[in-house]
Structures are given as C-alpha cells and as structure tokens.
Structure 1
Amino acid sequence: MKEACLWHETSPELPLRLSSLETELTSDVAIIGGGITGLSTAIHLAESGVSVSLIESHDIPNGGSGRNVGLVNAGLWIPPDDIVDILGAEKGERATRILGGAPAEVFSLIDRYQIQCHATRTGTLHLAHNAKGELDLTRRFAQLESRGAPVEIIEDERCYQAVGTRRIRRALLDRRAGTVNPAAYTRGLARAALSLGVKIYTNTPATGVTRPQHDWVVTTPKGRIKASKVVMATNAYTNDDWNQVKQHFFPGYYFQVASSPLSDRLANEILPGKQGAWDTRMVLSSIRRDADGRLILGSLGQGQGRPEAYIRGWADRIQHHYFPQLGKVNWECTWSGRIAFTPEHTLRIWELAPGLLSVTGYNGRGITTGTIVGKGFAHYITHNDDSLLPLPIENHRPVQAKAARSFGYEAGFTLYHTGQCMRVLV
C-alpha cells in the first residue's frame, strides 16, 4: 500500500505548468493561497473586472483542497439549531441559509467552466450506526426540513439498497449535495482563473505582508506584489508565525484509504447512487466510491507516518463491518490532509486591518465553504458588502491552548481507532 493521494493521480484535470514569482507586480487584489478559497475569490473578482495576482507556496493543489473526501456538503458540520445556539438566531440562520446553497454554487462553477472532476449530484447520505445515531438523524432531519431543505429519511430495505450494508437501517439523504474529485475541482478552478486573466504563481511562499503607505505589499523570496487589498486564504496550511490566521484555529487531520478498483458487480452493490456517505460514530468513518469503482474509507486522525499495519487493520475492520460481501480487499493507497478546527465548530471571517481579509475554521467542510467564501470575499471587495458571506466580518479572539487541543483530538482519535482494530468498538 503506497502513501499517495488518489485524487491527484486520477484527476481528469491535468496539472498546470506554472512558474514562481520573480518580479514585482501591481494588482488590485493579491491572494495568498491557491486552494479552493483563494481560487474562488480570484475567479469571482476577475469576472467583475478586478485584476488579481495569486501566489501558492507549493503546486496546485497542495493542501486540503486536493486531499479531502470530496463531499460537496450543504451547511456546517453541526445541525442548524446548534448553530443558532452558538452564534445567535440572526447569524446562525444566515450561515445555515447561505451554506445550504453552497453545493449549487460549486456545481455552477463546474458547469460554467466545464471542470472535469467526476462530479455527482445525487446527494450525500448520513448513516446512523446505532440507535443513538438514529435519534440524531431524526433531529437533524426535522431541523433541516423546517428550513425547507430537500432532505429525506430512508429506512430498512430502502436504506440497504442505497448503501449496500445491513449494518445501517436509517440514513439521512440530502439531495442538495454530491461528490467531486477534489484535486480535479481545484485544478479546474485554477484553469478557469487563468482563462480570466488571473496571474497565478506556484512554489512562491509569502514571506510577509506590510503596508508601508496606502497599498499593501506581499513579499516573496524573489518578488513582491503591490495591491490595495489582500486575501489570506491559507486556512489549515498556515505555517508562518507572521501570518495571524495561524492564531485562529488548531490543526487536526483526516486520513483515507483507497482500494484497488472493485469488479462492477461488487462496486455497484455499494452506494449504487454514487452518493458520498459518513456515519454517526463519535469518530466518524466516511465511505464513498470513485469513478473507477474503488472503495474509499476515511476517518479523523493522522495517517501519515503510521505503521501500514495500523492503517490496513483499521480499513479491514471498517470494510468487514459494513461490507463483508467484498471478502478480502486489496488496499492500494493511503493519504492524509489537515483540517482547521475551531472550538465553536464554525468558521471565522475577519479583516485584520482595512483591506486585509482572512478566513479559517472550515472544520471539514472546505469544498463548499471555501467556494462560497470566495464569492463572498469578491462581493465584499467590489461592493463593500459582506452579505454574501456565511458570517459577517468581525473581530475574533485567538484560539487558546492550540497545541493541547490538537494533541487531545489526535490522542482521542488514535484511542478510538485502536479500539476498533481490537474489536472493542464497532
């Protein structure tokens, strides 16, 4: 089993050949970060005639934008009533409404720029793994349905036909959602941005952002960009201490394991509608297939650097639990990505200084949230109006005890997975 990201290797959108920045530029807006947020911002700005220069410290994609599960999910991780409890009624309902429409924004970009990313639009399935999970799904369903979301509870034989396992008897189908190859989606966004005149430079890390006079200056090892506005779109992959985004999240990880392509007969028994799925476990397991019929399992935690026996043992345990009909599965590759968590489980959007915009804390919902935040940033920059953003631009206090939070999460994930491998947990 090799350590490599499946999405990069199977992307229909080919890698872009881009150079690093080795000169001085002037643009209306400079964007730091070539993931989904940065590229969506660039596209929506360029569509409005704004000149944009974007830098990425590695290739595109590098971080979570190309390494996630590929679920085009609606809403935040937590249910709507919990969002209202945390944020208040006005902001909570705003976030639920705008992010509820985020999958449609993703699919609109895919259609507009003919992005080849194996997109499916048949929804996602949230799977109740036990009686408590069934109650949780019933609660989520009632909250979403009351807000007009096209959701449905499927049960028993219909649930078996939709998922392919007898272990699940109830699931929540959200018809707004779907799946993509996330690396292909990100590469397609970059291609679209280039076609609109956006200047993109890879292998170009930002080394600082200053404002010596009226404009901002983004410095790089061999160049710099002068711009009236700067968007910091580095999210979970913010590493530099000078970048204040780093103060507003604590990092977590997510690992995935992909099988070799299954036979058509076996593959089509599992999620025949091609939905992506995840369960209600305390430490969830995600399940989906790719365009070639591979089974892809994932869960919270760091897989990189783990012994292969640990990763393989976990994957075997989950596969045998849910899909024993597959028999022995050959696991082809594994990879991990980083998540930006916040204590309140919601994103943070702020303007550190006039014209310096920042965002972080997608908490595992990067494809849709990054896309919609990019559109909202562009509207704010061009109209001085933040109403298209899922939350208003406001000040936030830095996250406290970041290292302890990350350690606690990772230790808990590891303990849980060990329990699964030892058959103490199911």
Structure 2
Amino acid sequence: MTAERTQPNLWQATAPAAPATGPLSGKRTVDVAIIGGGYTGLSAALHLAEKGVSVALAEARQIGHGGSGRNVGLVNAGMWVKPNDLIATLGQAEGDRLLTALGNGPSLVFDLIERHGIACEAVRNGTLHMAIGEDGMKDIRDREAQWQARGAPVSVLSADDARRLTGAEGFAGALLDKRAGTVQPLAYARGLAHAAVAAGAELFTQTPLLAAEKAGAGWKLRFPDGAITAQKVIVATNAYGDLVPRTPWQQHVGELTKLGYFQFATGPLSHNVARSILPERQGCWDTGLVMTSFRLDQQNRLVFGSIGNLDAIAEGTHRAFAKRAVRKLFPQIGEFDFEHWWDGRIGMTTTNLPRLHALAPGVVSVSGYNGRGISPGSVFGKALADHVTGHAGAIPLSETPVRPDAWRKARALLLGLGSKAKHMIDHRF
C-alpha cells in the first residue's frame, strides 16, 4: 500500500513530538494489553490508566502511523450514514445508543484536548457539508431534518452564506454542524499518547505482534524482543491490521474494504488571501459521489483531499485534479504549488457502520470507522476501557461475528479506478 511509502505529510511536518518510546524489550505483565497506537488504542490506554488499571500498548510502527496521522482532521458528530438509515440498519434501541454516543463524540474530543492541554490546532466552530447542485441540497436538507429531530444544532445555509463562510465558488449551500470542529490529527494522537504516559500507561513502538497464546485466564503476546502477559486484550488496528502478515486477531481486516484518501497542501497563503477563505476555520467536505474535502491549517495552508491513492500510476492524475479544483474553488489564490502530499486508508464496512467483535475469549475489537476516525475512535477507546473493566453495556454496539467480505478487494479496486477516472475528467461543477 502507498501508506508505507515516504511522503511529505504535512501533519508529520508540523505536529509536536510524540512521547519518547521504543521497542518492547523483556517481559511485562499487565491487566490490559492494547494492539495499535491510533485514536482508539490511545484513548483506551488513557482511560484505563486513569482508572488505575495497568496497561501496555504495542504499536507496530510509530504513534499515529496509520489513519490517525493521515486523515483530514474533521472532528465530526455521528457517522456519515444518516440517522434514520443508521436506525434502520441497527434497530431503534441500538441505533439511538450509537447516535447519542457519537453525536456527543466531539465534546469528548475537545474535553480531552482541554483537560490534557493537547496542542493540536483545535478549532470548534463547526464543520460544513457542502452541497453540489440541487441533489446535494436535497441531501443536506434531509440530514438537517433528521438531526434537528434529535435536537442537534445543525442548519442548512444558503449559497450566499456558504460562499461567505468558505470563500469558495460554486456550491448550492451547506449544512453547518455546530457540534463539530477541526484538529491537527497527528498532533491530537501524539497528545493522547503524552496524556496516557502521564497517567501511567506504557507505550511501545516498533513493536509488531507476532504471536499469541492462552496463559491461564489471559493471554501471552509475543513480540520480536519481548512479551506481554495480560488478562484482557484490545485490538485497535482498524484498516492497518495487516502491516504485519499473519498477525493474530486480524480477522476483522477481511471484512474491511480499504479505500484510499489523498491530500495535497499548499504553502502558507498570504494574509490577504487567507482571510477570504474559511474565515471561521470550519472544515469542509462535499456531497459528491467521489467526495472532496478542504480546510486551512493554523499556518494558513490550504489542504485539499479526495478519494484515491498516490501510487506511481495515479499520483499525477490526482495532483492535476487537485490543482484544477483549488483554482476553480478559490480563484483568489492565483498561482500556487503543493508543498505536501500524502495518502492513507479508510476502513469501509458493507453497512458503512463500525463493528464490535470478540476475536477470542478476553480479546475485543472495534473497527470500520468508514472515514470518521477522530471522534468515533476516541469514543470507542473510552468505551472499550469501560468494557474490559467490567462495565456491561459500555460499548454502544452489539457484538457481531466477523463476516469476511469476499468482494472487498474487487470493490477497493473499482473504487480506486473510478476515482482516478473521475479525476481525469472532472473540472468541478
């Protein structure tokens, strides 16, 4: 995958340093072991340590190596599936629980940021779901009605108001969700890591899981230079669970369609230009079938993204599309070039909703965030911490068996080819 290639990732270039970590050496015995150093694993480690539970986290690469260091940085409320559709899939009771938990997700994220003093460019002025044409307006009006019925502070904006809040040309309107906001995503992950260490968690990096075996009522996990014995295990690898081939407890990878998402970032824009673009710093994405996103970082770089991988074949196509799109959306920028570009993986399920699995006795996992990793990862990390310490019903999902998707690779290939084809011909609006 392209995620393993060296790329000039903006978030890696501008995030504060992670806590000092290194590979596990020797043996550890803890109450809970966590596999994966993204939002879910770090949130779980932090909340477990705050309970006084001994916890060790093992990450195969570095903190935030996967989606947590590669996403757009939108702290959204809920999944992108509409509330009524979510309830139709999960049923009323479970659907209500999940919608409530994830609707409150941004509050958890921004509370963690404030409580632990995480420097991650946090802005909570909402997000904007940008409508393309009348079909897009119909979609966001439907979302507005469904969320307002649940008391959420969302509202549809006119084309003029959408233009005023974005400085972008060509949108029919937008849905403003005041619950949401933006962060520097890798900085948030590294901040969670610092908070977890300060609370007493042990974090190990460059420590891939190689094997696992039962040890009494718990598990003994083997790594290249050591071992961890734990009563409970949380697997928090999501779409990056196959970084190490034949790793135990990665069955859930077989049900995830791994969708690529790329981003390009300009250099810092001049003050005069920057003040005409997203003056309130909302993060944006649109209603297009091949979705695009845009936002500013703290240094006034414009970050533009869409579906696709930056592999050797597709990178030129996606780069050219990104340039055309930025010029069309923001003609006031004038001549520009991209200084950073990177891609990552989104783990998609067939229902477009996350799934809870018991992978073995005492081993639990939540995966499939479908492009909404920051808030759900933080929420489910906390819920998993409660779950493994005996709080029944802590996770707002029912446990399901792993159901491998035989079509996932074909689906990923078609989505990649489709996004590339659209970007070859798409000139926006």
Do both proteins adopt the same fold according to a TM-score greater than 0.5, normalized to the shorter chain? yes
2:203 matched to which residue of 1? 200
Residue 127 (structure 1) aligned with residue 130 (structure 2):
yes
Q: 1:4 to 1:308 in 2, by over 3 A?
A: same
Residue 251 (structure 1) aligned with residue 242 (structure 2):
no
Kindly, what percent of the aligned residue pairs are identical?
Answer: 42
2:423 matched to which residue of 1? 417
- Is the Cα contact below 8 Å between 2:48 and 2:54 reproduced in 1? yes
**Which one of 254, 264, 268 corresponds to residue 261 of structure 1?**
268
Per-residue deviation, residues 221-273 of structure 1 (Å, max 9, x unmatched): 11110000000001110113332232231211100000011001111111111
- Is the Cα contact below 8 Å between 1:7 and 1:182 reproduced in 2? yes
Aligned runs of 1:16-415 on 2, under 5 Å? 16-239=19-242, 240-241=245-246, 242=248, 243-306=250-313, 309-387=316-394, 389-415=395-421
Q: What amino acid is the match of 1:365?
A: R
CA RMSD of aligned residues (A): 1.4
- Is the Cα contact below 8 Å between 2:347 and 2:369 reproduced in 1? yes
- Is the Cα contact below 8 Å between 2:215 and 2:229 reproduced in 1? no
**Any idea what SS the aligned residue of 2:300 has?**
coil
C-alpha distance in structure 1 between counterparts of 2:382 and 2:339, whole Å: 37
Return structure 1 stretches of 4+ with deviation > 4 angstroms. Answer: none
**Which one of 3, 8, 12 corresponds to residue 8 of structure 1?**
12
Q: Which moved more, 1:410-419 or 1:179-188?
A: 410-419
Shift of 1:383: 2.6
Structure 1 residue ranges without an equivalent (≥5): none
C-alpha distance in structure 1 between counterparts of 2:155 and 2:40, whole Å: 30
C-alpha distance in structure 1 between counterparts of 2:87 and 2:181, whole Å: 25
- Is the Cα contact below 8 Å between 1:99 and 1:390 reproduced in 2? no
Shift of 1:164: 0.7
C-alpha distance in structure 1 between counterparts of 2:315 and 2:419, whole Å: 17
Structure 2 residue ranges without an equivalent (≥5): 1-5
Q: Which moved more, 1:404-413 or 1:103-112?
A: 404-413
Per-residue deviation, residues 42-73 of structure 1 (Å, max 9, x unmatched): 11111111000011111112111011000000
**Any idea what SS the aligned residue of 1:159 has?**
helix
C-alpha distance in structure 2 between counterparts of 1:66 and 1:87, whole Å: 30
**Any idea what SS the aligned residue of 2:258 has?**
strand
C-alpha distance in structure 1 between counterparts of 2:12 and 2:311, whole Å: 16
C-alpha distance in structure 2 between counterparts of 1:394 and 1:307, whole Å: 36
Q: What amino acid is the match of 1:402?
A: R
C-alpha distance in structure 2 between counterparts of 1:175 and 1:106, whole Å: 14
- Is the Cα contact below 8 Å between 1:103 and 1:368 reproduced in 2? yes
- Is the Cα contact below 8 Å between 2:252 and 2:402 reproduced in 1? no
C-alpha distance in structure 2 between counterparts of 1:396 and 1:204, whole Å: 25
**Any idea what SS the aligned residue of 1:20 has?**
coil
Q: What amino acid is the match of 1:10?
A: T
2:3 matched to which residue of 1? none
C-alpha distance in structure 2 between counterparts of 1:18 and 1:396, whole Å: 33
- Is the Cα contact below 8 Å between 1:304 and 1:335 reproduced in 2? no
C-alpha distance in structure 2 between counterparts of 1:211 and 1:374, whole Å: 24
Q: What amino acid is the match of 2:111?
A: S
Q: 1:25 to 1:70 in 2, by over 3 A?
A: same
- Is the Cα contact below 8 Å between 1:304 and 1:336 reproduced in 2? no
- Is the Cα contact below 8 Å between 1:65 and 1:183 reproduced in 2? yes
- Is the Cα contact below 8 Å between 1:119 and 1:180 reproduced in 2? yes
**Any idea what SS the aligned residue of 1:231 has?**
strand
Q: What amino acid is the match of 1:400?
A: A
Q: What amino acid is the match of 1:4?
A: P
- Is the Cα contact below 8 Å between 1:377 and 1:386 reproduced in 2? no
TM-score relative to the length of structure 2: 0.95
Q: Which moved more, 1:335-344 or 1:237-246?
A: 237-246
- Is the Cα contact below 8 Å between 1:386 and 1:393 reproduced in 2? no
Q: What amino acid is the match of 1:3?
A: Q
C-alpha distance in structure 2 between counterparts of 1:270 and 1:203, whole Å: 40
**Any idea what SS the aligned residue of 2:389 has?**
helix
Aligned length in residues: 420
Per-residue deviation, residues 399-419 of structure 1 (Å, max 9, x unmatched): 222211211221221112112
Shift of 1:307: 5.8
C-alpha distance in structure 2 between counterparts of 1:182 and 1:306, whole Å: 27
- Is the Cα contact below 8 Å between 1:30 and 1:230 reproduced in 2? yes
Q: What amino acid is the match of 2:48?
A: L
C-alpha distance in structure 2 between counterparts of 1:307 and 1:250, whole Å: 19
Shift of 1:212: 4.0
C-alpha distance in structure 1 between counterparts of 2:42 and 2:7, whole Å: 27
Shift of 1:20: 0.6
